[in-house]
Amino acid sequence: MHTPEPSADGLLTLLAVARTGRYTAAADLLGINHTTASRRVAALEQALGGPLLARGAAGWELTELGRSGAAAAERIEAVLHGLDADTAHDLHGTVRIAATDGFSARVVAPAIAELGRAHPRLSVDLLTVTRRAPSTRSGVDIEVVVGRPETYRVEPELLAPYRLGLYGSRQYLATDGTPEHTRDLAGRPLVYFIDSMLTVDDLDLARVLVPDMTDRLSSTNVLVHVEATCAGAGLGLLPCFLADSRPDLVRVLPDEVSVQLEYWMVVRPEAAQRREVAAVVTALRAQVAAMRAVLLGAIPHG
C-alpha cells in the first residue's frame, strides 16, 4: 500500500496549530477553513505514521513525532521567508512569547515596540501567565517565568533579578497610618496573589515576610494588585518596577519587607535557530539590562 508523502502545506498547518493551540486560529492564520486545516494534519499523520498533536490544558500540543514535523516546517518557513525578504536583514514571521503580566507590560511590550520599528513585518503574540514553565511546551517560542524552572532538553537562562516591596496608597496610609515596625502589619489588609492558586514557589515564599496580614483582595494578575493598592484596598506586596512608577504609592518598611526574585527565560530548542526568535531574545536581554536598577527598586519614581 502506497504511503503518501508529507506535504509542505501539511507541515506548515501543523506548525500553525502548534503555535496557536487551536485549529480554528491556525486556519484563520493560514487563510483556510477549519476543515481544511484538520484534513491537512490528518493526512500528515498518515504520512508520518503516528499522532502529531495531543490535547493539553492550553490547547493542542505537539507529540514527540509532532516536534520533528514542526522542526521540518520551521525550516520550510525559513526558506520561504528568505525568498520573500526585501533585504538580508529583514525579519519575518510570528514569535510567540509567554510571560508574567508585569514583565509583559513593562519589559516585553517596550522591547517589542522598538524591535518592530526596525522590522515592521515581525509579529509577536504575547501570552500573559504566572506559572511554572513546563518541561515541554508546544506553540510557545520563548517563556519567561519567576524562579529557575525545571526544564527538559533546554537550559534556562537567568534574565534578571527583581524585587518585591510593600506599598500603600497615600490616602490609605493617611487614614490607617504608616506601619513603623513589622509587628504593626498584624491584621492589616494584604493585596497579593490567591494563595491556593499560586503555582510559583518563589512567589509563595514572599508571604513569609507578612504572615500576620489578612487577605483583602487577591488576584492572579499582578496589574490588579497595583490598581487595588492604589485604590486603597490595603497594603500591596508589589514588584518595585511596577509600583515605583506610581506617584500615589509609597513603599513602607523597605528594609524589613524586601524579597528578591528572578526572571528566567526558556527558549524552545526548535525555535532557537530562527532569526526572528533570536532577535526577540536579544531585545529582551537588552531591555532587562537597561532596566536593572528599576527592576531592583533602586530608582524611585519621579
The model's pLDDT over 106-148, given as tens digits with 9 standing for 90+, comes to 999 999 999 999 999 899 999 987 655 554 455 689 999 999 9
Domain coordinates of the chain in residue numbers? 8-84, 94-159+262-292, 160-261
Q: Which CATH number fits domain 160-261: 1.10.1740.110, 1.10.10.10, 3.30.2350.10, 3.40.190.10?
A: 3.40.190.10
Residue 298: predicted pLDDT:
86
CA angle 32, 36, 40 (to 5 degrees): 115
Q: How many helices (H) and strands (E) does the chain have?
A: 12, 11
Q: Which fold has domain 94-159+262-292?
A: D-Maltodextrin-Binding Protein; domain 2 (3.40.190)
CA distances for 112 relative to 79, 269, 279, angstroms: 24, 21, 10
Residue 251: predicted pLDDT:
97
* Predicted model pTM: 0.75
Residue 136: predicted pLDDT:
46
Confidence at 302, pLDDT banded by 50, 70, 90:
very low
d(CA 8, CA 4): 12
DSSP structural state of residue 118: H
Q: Scanning the structure block, which residue is given the C-alpha cell 503518501?
A: 4
Backbone angles phi, psi at 178, to 5 degrees: -90, 125
Question: What tens digit of pLDDT does each residue of 177-223 get?
Answer: 999 999 999 999 999 998 767 667 778 777 888 989 999 999 999 99
Enter the CATH code of domain 8-84: 1.10.10.10
Residue 276: predicted pLDDT:
92
CATH topology of 94-159+262-292 equal to that of 160-261?
yes
Backbone angles phi, psi at 163, to 5 degrees: -125, 145
CA distances for 126 relative to 89, 104, 138, 181, 214, angstroms: 23, 8, 14, 40, 33
